[in-house]
Amino acid sequence: MGTITIDGRKVEFTDEKNLLTVIRKAGIDIPTLCYHSELSTFGACRLCTVEDDRGRTFASCSEEPRDGMVIYTNTGKLKKYRKLIIELLLASHCRDCTTCVKSGDCNLQTLAHRFGVTSVRYSNYREQKPLDFSSPSIVRDPNKCILCGNCVRVCNELQGVGALDFAFRGSEAMVMPAFDKEIAATDCVNCGQCQIFCPTGAISIRHNREAVWEALADPDVRVVAQVAPAVRVAVGSAFGLPKGKSVMGKIVNVLHRIGFDEVYDTTFSADMTIMEESAEFLNRLKTGEKLPLLTSCCPAWVKFVGDQFPEYKEHVSTCRSPQGMMSAVTKEWFRDPANNPEGKKTVMVSFMPCTAKKMEAKRSNSFTHGEQDTDYVITTTELIDMIRMTGIEFAELEPESSDIPFGFGSGGGVIFGVTGGVTEAVIRRLVPGHDKETLEAIAECGVRDGGFIREFSIPYEGIDLNICVVSGLANARAVMEQVKSGEKNYHLIEVMACRRGCIMGGGQPRLAGDRTKAARTEGIYRADNVAVIKKSDENPMIMSLYEGFLKGKEHELLHNHEFC
Ligand code: HC1
Ligand code: SF4
């Protein structure tokens, strides 16, 4: 605790971990390419360098705040210094900015503009390296890497995977998977968090937009969209609407205008997931086998289990994810000539906050009758680009409702978008009653509280169900190690690979600050608050589907028949 004089103004600090945080608290956007509050401090880019009253310069990210410090953040010396750093970074950078996938969303580009770097005095003589297109989810372009190490640290520290690392030294230094393998040949789980933290185009989302435009232009194809829970709270702010506001109605409108024949809501199939997963959970409780039940809707987590804890594969729920269920059911629906008299081919496009969903769509257990259930996965970021491409004024659109029969989900389906949501929806299903008090008591049982690892118990038919809700794979690894050693005993473990759940997925708009993160969570809970039906089992569309079309097909369409 103490006071620092920053650019002539006194600023108090308490427990801020470094000077950079105090400077930002004072309302000064000190530049940096390698500092993130959720990652360890690397101190590589030096852009956050400040000057003290003795003319000494040092990186503010690596300096502890001390009472009585006097520092300056914008002296002539610092401006020159920052400009030179950016120029040197650009000098060894592939500078195809106009056609770069991250153009407009690149921190290096933004800083170059901000510091008036309008020319680069040096040429790039570095040998151009091939791009890595091996992953269905991300693309690596080593020519755009600035060695900030963000991807290495996020993959290691937040995700506990360690698929990327530094190799070689000096001017030869590079970031790459071990032994320069293709990223798809590593334990990479496709979560896309590295592309979220990558400040340049060195890691980007593997795009599928062109294939979708082609399908939309084909008159013999019925193009069907499904929209995931977390997408609705992350699109609006790209078009000037409040952060975290649910804009599902506008998304439905714009997708209809773009040419989608049907727009369904993944919250509907999330309700189906709850029906199936609750039944599976109760069955395992009865037999006492394969407990804890591990949730299966997050494909990055499922891959993580297969790679890191293969002895727990059998514990993973056999339920397909809501994406998988929706696509399998929709395609089956339109296989029936009564629902498809024109005999059109159905192409399923799912709009997801997640890059790993692209991998899930291609998994061998995501096929029915030999046909891939989900044809294309488009991330929220790609959706925003598609809307921009059309020129439609998104903010002005009237909301529209999703299409029947798969466009109506309960509040239980919506909350899948945040960590704890799947568990809360399961508890809603298990606990009788749907009055306000019951739902409030569930919300307060511990499922919404705490950070990235939440442990709590709920009474159920004479026993205490021990539950753990985890987000972030490094946290999941810690929990699984405790389960493996017998230190912890749970009946159910929900894991979402990305911290805070799908709202912070690798396909969402990048670099959300704390306010955005909180606003997305609040937006999801607000969407639940206004949902007429809160419990998945009370969704009338689900009930009629189970009693009719789905009868006898549940196993085939809603479950994975092998682990992969
Ligand atoms: Fe998710 Fe899910 S919640 S995994 O986070 O179970 O991606 O939003 O669509 O499938 O519903 C993602 C979100 C999403 C699935 C659902
Ligand atoms: Fe690591 Fe996820 Fe990036 Fe793969 S996608 S390299 S697991 S951060």
Give the pLDDT score at 540: 96
Question: Is 191's C-beta closer than 6 angstroms to any atom of ligand 2?
Answer: yes
Residue from 522, 434, 427, 501 nearest 466 by CA: 427
At 125, the pLDDT band (50, 70, 90 cuts) reads: confident
How would you label 407-433 residue by residue, b for 16+ Cβ within 10 Å and e otherwise?
bbbbbbbbbbbbbbbbbbbbbbbbbee
List beta partners, residue 466: 457
Give the pLDDT score at 124: 82
Which ligand 1 atom sits closest to the C-alpha of 231? Answer: 8
Q: Which residue has the higher pLDDT, 513 or 307?
A: 307
Q: Per residue in 7-59, pLDDT tens?
A: 999 999 999 999 999 999 999 999 999 999 999 999 999 999 999 999 999 99
Q: What single-letter DSSP state applies at residue 227?
A: E
Rounded to whole angstroms, the Cα distance separating 300 from 280 reads: 21
Q: Per residue in 265-289, pLDDT tens?
A: 999 999 999 999 999 999 999 999 9
Which ligand 2 atom sits closest to the C-alpha of 189? Answer: 7
Which ligand 1 atom sits closest to the C-alpha of 270? Answer: 11
Instruction: Kindly indicate whether the domain formed by 2-74 is annotated with CATH number 3.40.50.720.
Output: no
Q: How buried is 455 (Cβ within 10 angstroms: 0-12 exposed, 13-18 middle, 19+ buried)?
A: middle
CA dihedral 152, 155, 158, 160 (to 10 degrees): -120
Give the pLDDT score at 88: 94
Question: Is 60's C-beta closer than 6 angstroms to any atom of ligand 1?
Answer: no
Question: Is 300's C-beta closer than 6 angstroms to any atom of ligand 1?
Answer: no
Q: Per residue in 536-556, pLDDT tens?
A: 999 999 999 999 999 999 999
- Any idea which ligand is nearest the CA of 501? 1
Cα 61 to ligand 2 centroid, rounded to whole Å: 25
Question: Is 198's C-beta closer than 6 angstroms to any atom of ligand 2?
Answer: no
Rounded to whole angstroms, the Cα distance separating 492 from 523 reads: 26
158 has a pLDDT exceeding 80: yes
Q: Per residue in 394-415, pLDDT tens?
A: 999 999 999 999 999 999 999 9
How many Cβ atoms are within 10 Å of 107's Cβ, its own excluded?
Answer: 23
Choose one of 194, 301, 305, 355 to mutate for the ligand 2 pocket test, by most ligand atoms within 8 angstroms of C-beta.
Answer: 194
Give the pLDDT score at 450: 82
Give the pLDDT score at 496: 98
At 424, the pLDDT band (50, 70, 90 cuts) reads: very high
Atom 9 in ligand 1: residue holding the nearest Cα? 228
- Across residues 222-244, what is the average pLDDT? 98
8 Å CB contact between 160 and 126 = no
Token couple for 472: 């972030």
- Parse the chain into domains and list their residue ranges: 2-74, 87-205, 210-552
The class (CATH top level) of 87-205 is alpha beta
Give the pLDDT score at 516: 94
Q: Which CATH architecture fits 210-552?
A: 3-Layer(aba) Sandwich (3.40)
Which ligand 1 atom sits closest to the C-alpha of 357? Answer: 7
Rounded to whole angstroms, the Cα distance separating 511 from 79 reads: 24
Q: CA 60 → CA 1, 39, 43, 49, distances in Å?
A: 17, 15, 9, 6
How many Cβ atoms are within 10 Å of 547's Cβ, its own excluded?
Answer: 9
Cα 324 to ligand 2 centroid, rounded to whole Å: 22
- Across residues 87-111, what is the average pLDDT? 93
303 has a pLDDT exceeding 90: yes
0.90 surpassed by complex ipTM: yes
Atom 12 in ligand 1: residue holding the nearest Cα? 502
- Across residues 223-239, what is the average pLDDT? 98
Mean pLDDT (the chain) is 96
326 has a pLDDT exceeding 80: yes
